Structure 1
Amino acid sequence: MNELITIQANTWYQRAEQKAVQYYASLQTRAMDHMYVQTLTTDFQLWKRNHVPRSWHSWLPRGSKTPDVLGYHQYIGWLNRTGKLDGYLDRSISYIYMRDLGKALDSPDTQARIEQTSADVKKYLLRYTGTKQGDPPDFMSLAGLYRWAQKESIEDAVIWLIDKLNRVSAHIPQEMDAEHAQRKLMKIIIGVVLHVMDELDDSLSADERSKRLDEAIRLGYSYGLTYPFIDDLLDSEILNTGEKEQYSRMIRTALLTGSVPESGEWDGENREFIQYVYSELREAFEYIRNSQPPETINIFFEQAYVFFQAQDLDRAKELSHPAYTNEELYLPVILKSSSSRLIVRSVIGAPGDESFERRTFYYGIYNQLADDFADMFDDMKAGAVTPYTYYLQYSKQRPDLMNPYELYWTVISYLIHDVYRSDARTRDIILNRAINGLKRSKERLGEIKYNEIINIFASGNREFNRLVQRMVQQADDVDFLDKLLRDQIITVLRTSRKEKDRFIDTIHSVRREINQQLQIPKAGEMPPVRNSLIDAANYSLQGDGKRLRPVLTWVMGVNEYGLEPAAIMPLLKSLEYMHTASLIFDDLPSQDNAPTRRGRPTLHQVHNSATAELTGLYLIQKAVEEQSSLSGFEATAVLALMRYSSQKAGEICMGQAMDLEARGQMLTLEQLNTICFYKTGIAFEACLVMPAILAQVNETEITALKKYAYHAGIAFQIKDDLLDSEGEISLLGKPVRQDVENNSSTFVTLLGHDGARRAMWEHYCRAVEALNDIPRDNAFLKHLLHYMVSRDK
């Protein structure tokens, strides 16, 4: 960086640091004089009237009335039944307006907005309290997110976001906490959207509202990406010291010049990952920069630089260093905690507000000190320097060190009385939050460890601490929705990752088993013609097929219906024989005229069309033979399965005939859906319904399975059409843009790329909604559906 840029960087940081110096000096004086003790003692006496029950038996722990025990849906229902939900939402939404939106609660306009938002959230929450135990809340699902997008007419932005989040998730290395990184990214996106929604008013047209929400989603992702791919990456051990320095220089240069520098040379195992991160961050940076109005662009760069520099200074500290001053410990904390929220306003180009900036600047350290207290032992284990870890390490040798716990209460007192003008509602919210944080820490650490820590940090004010701990023990109704959602998001992400791993393991293990059984053996002395037909069949079966259909049947049959794996193996083989036969016919010159399939030349290319036709017919007969060999099931069930299988095979042929007849014609969406269902959806339906027939499940469940299969099949076909128009032959294993060359109507040619994506997600949502009528664990079917719409081949 040249000299002028260096001067600018120093000016930006020194200007922010001066404000932090003044703020810290004021806090330090108040903390050392214990000015907060008497003030907060009076505040707690007023506060406890609404939060400490008067009868002794109501002080007992709620035990079974916690989210951990009841589960998310039941907990919301319990709050509603006991009349606690309104207060719960009021304090939760009020806190978000203070923390995330920088609002003062004594404003009539803010109070009205909080009341309306609380009412809207209540309606939304109560719609889904009956969801099956273990299922995530609707608004945490992709289907719920897309339904909201449809309501706001921002489907394209949400589809874009889902694709981005999928790629981020796929690229986060094992050395980083994937769930934590994803949660922070989603939290930032939600925060930016909330800021924008708070700026919207009823005078806006529907188109303008949609436009602003679309931009908010893209801006939220672009800004939020800095957390996993800058903060978390630099905090991790993935990069070595030299790489971290090179990476930090790139970030500084971008913020100080407004232009992303070239990535430079990256060697070793991190090269591919860094290239992805660089590309994604560059795109995000340029989107934010280009979205900024000229009058706020410099404010954004300045605040972003201050935030990064404060983070970098904190990151460089080492716990083994015994001589950090209080200012060195606390000034970066003040700056990074306030800058992170101030940036959001500049990112969305919201008008400046001196009172907002003042409140946000003073408020930040309150949240940061609370978070650092909660993460104290994780930080200690990682060797990270925070005010708490440093005090634990050196307080006995360094009597000059500021006690962060005392400073925390000092900040609370300062916020209530100096920043928010002794507003009663604000006092209630802030003290609720403080006691809730201590309650959560006590539950997480255990009473012995918690008391040990409190005795270290609160030893200077024992009487005040006794008061606080009585509130921790006795106070009720101090829970917050954002904490519940935070825990739920982490649970959903972890559960989803485990289910995804099981989904992949199941596919691989069952696929291996099926592949071992698929080859058709040659018996004794056979005529050469028959041998060549078997060779042709085995050639087609040996291709790198996904085997999704028999895998799906195995999962439903074995995992859901309890059928014996060996007993249904003939059914699995029959499904793959019929599917492979259909592909052989599809690929023929008289139909799709495809040169490759499953990464290899098609059968008619290796042999000839006549052999391919006969091989397809042979495989269909082998499928019937396998189904007739099913044993251990009632004969009526096997006959019903074979009848159903024959009907579906005929319908698939009809679908292919309709597809051939439609070439060169402009189809309607209804016609395309019909053809798609007959060609693809019926095969998915058969995989689900055939094991259900063997298990003799009720007709209601079979109807739900058929509905799921219908929409899943169309979603799968739309994805195929998108891949055909956009994909790479090296990934797909078959030619791309084949539909265009064959003059075929597809969802892409009919609806365009964006319209096809929207249609795919509509069918995705309908398939997910169909699963709610299936009284079984449907995790595999959900992940299968997600795989269908997110695959790259």
Structure 2
Amino acid sequence: MNNELVKKADEFYQIAEQKAAYYFKSLHQQVVKKSYISTLTRDIQMWKSNHVQRWSLLSIFSRRKKNSVSKDYHNYIKWLDYTGELDSYLERSIAYIFMRDLGKTLDDSDTEARIQRTVNKLRDHLTKESKKEKSGDKTDSISTANLYRKAQEEGIEATMIWLVEKLKTVASNIPAEMNAEEAQRKLIKIIAGVTMHQVEEMGEELSKEARKRKIEEAIRLGYSYGLTYPFIDDLLDAKILSIDEEEKYSDLIRTTLVTGTVPELGAWHGNNQKLIGYVHSELKEAFEYIKNHQKPEKLKAFLDQAYVFFNSQEVDRIKDINNEDYSNEEIFIPIILKSASSRLITRSVIGAPEDIGFDNRTFFYGIYNQLADDFADMFDDMKEGAVTPYTYYMKYYDKRSDLINPFELYWTVISNLIHNVYNSDTKTCEVILDRAVNGLKRFKERMGNDIYNEVMEIFSPKSPEFNKLIQDMVEKAENVDFFDKLLRDHMVTNIKNEQKEKEEFSDIIETVRKQVNESLDIPKDEKVSLMEDFISNAANYSLRGDGKRLRPIMAWVMGVKEYGLKESEMLPLLRSLEYMHTASLIFDDLPAQDNADIRRGRPTVHKVYNVAIAELTGLFLTQKAIEEQTFLQQFDLRNVLKLIRYSTETTADLCKGQTMDLEAKGKQLTLEQLNMMCFYKTGKGFEAALMMPAILAARDQVEMEALKKFSYHAGIAFQIKDDLLDVEGEVRLTGKNIGKDAENNSSTFVSILGLEEAKKEMWQHYCFAMEILQEMKLSTTFLKHLLNYIIHRDH
């Protein structure tokens, strides 16, 4: 590494460190003098008049009602709207974000106008959501389908698809020792934050095309910058890497920030070669994207701030909680540096113009946010052995009288911000105190009264009167909650629920798949025992392939979980569906059709036997499918007859779909023709898996029609994904040859629309299918996760 460049980077760090030391000294003096107490006591006495209601039966009822709905995103928004509190709730929430993330002052008329515009837009959006929910539409505003619809409105579908694919890949590469849910939440939060920065800076006068371009850039920049959290901070904190690997990895990051160029990875010695290879590749691409979108005159400032952030993180990272000798400066100065530089980096990433005082405000503000976060996370940090102001004080406060109480410093920072940074602005005082009290209320609710009181015994400021004032506010204050916290909780809950549902989905898949596999074998015909039973052998060979068994699994879930049919009575239907599907694959693979050599990871039937045996085996399995349906004798026989009639019609439709496919080879189909062909080829199979249990359960016609619509869109989405995998997939994962569609001159969504437009079409059908599910109000979430599986699968 260039020694001169290292020297310059270290010099910049030392200048930043000196500024942080000066700031800390000023705060320390205020803590010692206790000057913050009298100042904040006056502030809180004025503030509490707007936040502490007088006692009345009505106020008690209102508080209980509010608390009962405060954890539910949609109900809480409706409650705030009903009580007339929504506007003030959103105003303090947006004002806080403008201060924290955009570095704005709240006494500026332009900022006030922008906050109000944002509040109005958000209020309109939230109240429309509430009305939709009241009418029965349960679509979540942060669901993938809803976000894709918003992307369509902005014309950024391709970027949305790119982001979903990137997030999926990141999640799949996060080691088990790290918190994948938290990493995902952080990454999404940063992407949203950078995008919000960009939207706020670009104004209303931009053309639609320019707006689209800037939003796309912001999403990619947010992703690129956000990657540093899971793949630098979290990875180094997680103790996954060996000491040698950590040192080498840190050197790679440091070299990048000093030189402005990502070094080659080279030979990697250690157990994490594959992980580091992926991380290095992804971070290199991200760094180059950020660098290429920096104005040349701003690039050095970006690299300098990134170096300060990384170096201050490294200083903190190597601290040992068992070392009793850290000074106050060693504990707090890195906190000041990393909290300030992280916000300055975000601003630099999008190349936003600076206003007067922005750097100073951001520098002084950062530690306030960091101390609040460290307070909330102190027990998790203690468990991990991390050194933060709170964990270190908690461990040594009774041994070291010289240690600064971080909770006292927190209130000192608040006083300093209100009066020395934001010039005693009333609105700023209101918002900062709202946030501080809200943080304590949330901590108390999360940890419980006993732990909260124990924590306060350790950290309470050494002023009984001031401490009592704070605790009274924590106990009594109302209207101090914030939308970003509600949204964060909603997102965390959604991610956890999604993960739990996804695990349940996977468990169902594996359980039913195993059950189906164990029941599929067709016994040999004793009448042909003197000769080899080629048909049964070929059928069983095909059935024993590594099939997904999606159709029988879908039927099992709908029949057993949704309609309450008996599991044992469903088995003939499950076999029937898999026999029918396997027969269609045998025909599909024949030389006269797709001429495939591999299916389900091994040679196709006509390759193992011959074409004639394959054709007869396909016919044999279609007949076995109908035979199985006649064993559904525990059900109303009229419904069984309906099912058999429906089944034969479906088989005929599948034949029509395959005929359309053969006739389409070498022809340029319209999108409408392609949709019809794919529905007959694939969608009909999905439809059968859903309709047959519904027929047995005697469901009404309205539900039947909804199931058909869902199957139409899910089937086409499935087929498009197959077409994409034929171009982008891997043989080891798909279990069949790649590129067969092009070799056979087949009309596919990729050949007609191209790769990018085919992906958009798949997502369009995904959204349609999701929206139909929302209307159906099914008790099981299986079909939702089936749709997610369809578009995210790699085989």
TM class by shorter chain equals over 0.9
**CA distance in structure 2 between the aligned counterparts of 1:193 and 1:501, rounded to whole angstroms:** 31
Partner of 1:81: 82
Once the two structures are superposed, the pairs formed by residues 472-491 of structure 1 within 5 Å of their partners are 472-491=474-493
Aligned to 2:290, the other structure's residue is in SS state helix
Name the stretch that deviates more: 116-125 or 746-755.
116-125
Deviation at 1:677, TM superposition (A): 0.7
Deviation at 1:456, TM superposition (A): 2.0
Deviation at 1:69, TM superposition (A): 6.5
8 Å contact from structure 1 (residues 66, 75) kept in 2: no
8 Å contact from structure 1 (residues 71, 134) kept in 2: no
**CA distance in structure 1 between the aligned counterparts of 2:37 and 2:427, rounded to whole angstroms:** 20
Name the stretch that deviates more: 702-711 or 268-277.
268-277
8 Å contact from structure 1 (residues 136, 492) kept in 2: no
- 1:350-379 deviation line (CA, Å, top 9, x unaligned): 223342211111110000011111111111
- 1:532-555 deviation line (CA, Å, top 9, x unaligned): 111111111111111111111111
Partner of 1:450: 452
**CA distance in structure 2 between the aligned counterparts of 1:177 and 1:134, rounded to whole angstroms:** 35
Partner of 2:161: 159
Deviation at 1:8, TM superposition (A): 1.6
**CA distance in structure 2 between the aligned counterparts of 1:70 and 1:3, rounded to whole angstroms:** 54
**CA distance in structure 2 between the aligned counterparts of 1:544 and 1:615, rounded to whole angstroms:** 18
Amino acid in structure 2 at the alignment position of 1:417: H
Aligned to 1:378, the other structure's residue is in SS state helix
Q: Are residues 1:630 and 2:599 paired?
A: no
Deviation at 1:297, TM superposition (A): 0.8
Partner of 1:28: 28
Pick from 179, 184, 205 the counterpart of residue 177 of structure 1. Answer: 179
- 1:138-189 deviation line (CA, Å, top 9, x unaligned): 2321101111111111111111100010111111122111111111111111
Deviation at 1:658, TM superposition (A): 1.3
- 1:234-266 deviation line (CA, Å, top 9, x unaligned): 111211222111111111011111111122333
Once the two structures are superposed, the pairs formed by residues 328-339 of structure 1 within 5 Å of their partners are 328-339=330-341
Deviation at 1:214, TM superposition (A): 0.5
TM-score (norm 1): 0.97
**CA distance in structure 2 between the aligned counterparts of 1:437 and 1:134, rounded to whole angstroms:** 34
**CA distance in structure 1 between the aligned counterparts of 2:337 and 2:482, rounded to whole angstroms:** 26
Partner of 1:101: 102
8 Å contact from structure 2 (residues 90, 123) kept in 1: yes
Aligned to 2:250, the other structure's residue is in SS state helix
Deviation at 1:329, TM superposition (A): 0.8
Q: Are residues 1:55 and 2:55 paired?
A: yes
8 Å contact from structure 1 (residues 701, 773) kept in 2: no
Once the two structures are superposed, the pairs formed by residues 301-700 of structure 1 within 5 Å of their partners are 301-526=303-528, 531-700=533-702
Partner of 2:212: 210
**CA distance in structure 1 between the aligned counterparts of 2:664 and 2:683, rounded to whole angstroms:** 18
Aligned to 1:128, the other structure's residue is in SS state helix
Amino acid in structure 1 at the alignment position of 2:719: Q
**CA distance in structure 2 between the aligned counterparts of 1:10 and 1:706, rounded to whole angstroms:** 65
Partner of 1:19: 19
- 1:557-595 deviation line (CA, Å, top 9, x unaligned): 111111111101000000010101111111111111112
Once the two structures are superposed, the pairs formed by residues 772-783 of structure 1 within 5 Å of their partners are 772-783=774-785
Deviation at 1:730, TM superposition (A): 2.5
**CA distance in structure 2 between the aligned counterparts of 1:785 and 1:775, rounded to whole angstroms:** 16
**CA distance in structure 2 between the aligned counterparts of 1:5 and 1:89, rounded to whole angstroms:** 46
- 1:106-147 deviation line (CA, Å, top 9, x unaligned): 111111111111121122222333549999862321101111
8 Å contact from structure 1 (residues 105, 426) kept in 2: yes
**CA distance in structure 1 between the aligned counterparts of 2:139 and 2:361, rounded to whole angstroms:** 33
Amino acid in structure 1 at the alignment position of 2:113: A
Deviation at 1:735, TM superposition (A): 1.6
Q: Are residues 1:119 and 2:130 paired?
A: no
TM-score (norm 2): 0.97
Partner of 2:129: 128
- Provide closer, same or farther for how the CA distance between residues 132 and 684 of structure 1 changes in structure 2, counting only shifts above 3 A: farther
**CA distance in structure 2 between the aligned counterparts of 1:528 and 1:487, rounded to whole angstroms:** 69
8 Å contact from structure 2 (residues 408, 461) kept in 1: no
**CA distance in structure 1 between the aligned counterparts of 2:116 and 2:139, rounded to whole angstroms:** 22
8 Å contact from structure 2 (residues 17, 333) kept in 1: yes
8 Å contact from structure 1 (residues 94, 105) kept in 2: yes
Partner of 1:65: 66
Partner of 2:6: 6
8 Å contact from structure 1 (residues 64, 70) kept in 2: no
Once the two structures are superposed, the pairs formed by residues 735-746 of structure 1 within 5 Å of their partners are 735-746=737-748
Deviation at 1:473, TM superposition (A): 0.9
Deviation at 1:339, TM superposition (A): 0.7
**CA distance in structure 1 between the aligned counterparts of 2:658 and 2:303, rounded to whole angstroms:** 58
- Provide closer, same or farther for how the CA distance between residues 678 and 261 of structure 1 changes in structure 2, counting only shifts above 3 A: same
**Residue ranges of structure 2 left out of the alignment (5+ in a row):** none
- Provide closer, same or farther for how the CA distance between residues 535 and 528 of structure 1 changes in structure 2, counting only shifts above 3 A: farther
**CA distance in structure 2 between the aligned counterparts of 1:133 and 1:622, rounded to whole angstroms:** 46
**CA distance in structure 2 between the aligned counterparts of 1:551 and 1:132, rounded to whole angstroms:** 33
Deviation at 1:688, TM superposition (A): 0.9
- Provide closer, same or farther for how the CA distance between residues 523 and 741 of structure 1 changes in structure 2, counting only shifts above 3 A: closer
8 Å contact from structure 1 (residues 189, 217) kept in 2: yes
**CA distance in structure 2 between the aligned counterparts of 1:67 and 1:783, rounded to whole angstroms:** 30
Identity of counterpart residues, as a percentage? 58
**CA distance in structure 2 between the aligned counterparts of 1:703 and 1:76, rounded to whole angstroms:** 34
8 Å contact from structure 2 (residues 136, 775) kept in 1: no
**CA distance in structure 2 between the aligned counterparts of 1:690 and 1:365, rounded to whole angstroms:** 61
Partner of 1:273: 275
